[in-house]
Amino acid sequence: MKKRKSDLTFLEKVVRNRVLLFMCLPAVIFFFMFNYMPLPGIYVAFVKYNYRDGIFGSKFIGLDNFKFLATSGQLWTLTKNTILYNLAFIILGNMLAVFVAILLNEMQSKWFKKVSQTILFLPYFISQVLVGLLVFNLLNYDTGFVNGILSSLGMERWQPYSDPNVWPVLMVVIYLWQQTGYNSVVYFASIMGIDGEMMEAAKVDGANGFQRIRYIILPSLKPTIVILLLFALGGIVKGNFGLFYNIVGSNPILYPTTDIIETFVYRSTVQSFNFSTASAVGFYQSVVGFVIVMTVNYIVKKIEPDYSLF
What is the pLDDT at residue 100? 92
Phi-psi region of 273 (alpha: psi -120 to 50; beta: other; left: phi over 0): left
What is the pLDDT at residue 2? 57
What is the pLDDT at residue 1? 52
Rg (CA), the chain: 25
Mean pLDDT per 10-residue segment, the chain (310 residues): 66 86 92 88 88 86 82 79 92 93 87 87 90 92 89 90 92 94 89 84 84 89 87 84 89 90 80 77 83 85 78
Say if CB 49 and CB 275 are below 8 A apart: yes
Beta partners for 47?
Answer: 60
Domain boundaries, the chain: 1-37, 73-271
Q: Domain 73-271 is of which CATH architecture?
A: Orthogonal Bundle (1.10)
pTM of the model as a whole:
0.82
What is the pLDDT at residue 53? 86
Instruction: Please name which of 95, 102, 115, 100 lies closest in space to residue 192, comparing C-alpha atoms.
Output: 102
Residue 139 CA to residue 147 CA, distance in Å, equals 7
What is the pLDDT at residue 6? 63
What is the pLDDT at residue 5? 61
What is the pLDDT at residue 11? 84
Q: Phi then psi for 8, rounded to 5 degrees? A: -75, 145
Per-residue CA distances from 126 to 88, 138, 159, 169, 178 (Å): 21, 16, 26, 21, 8
What is the pLDDT at residue 86? 93
Nearest 5°: CA angle at 292, between 48 and 223? 135
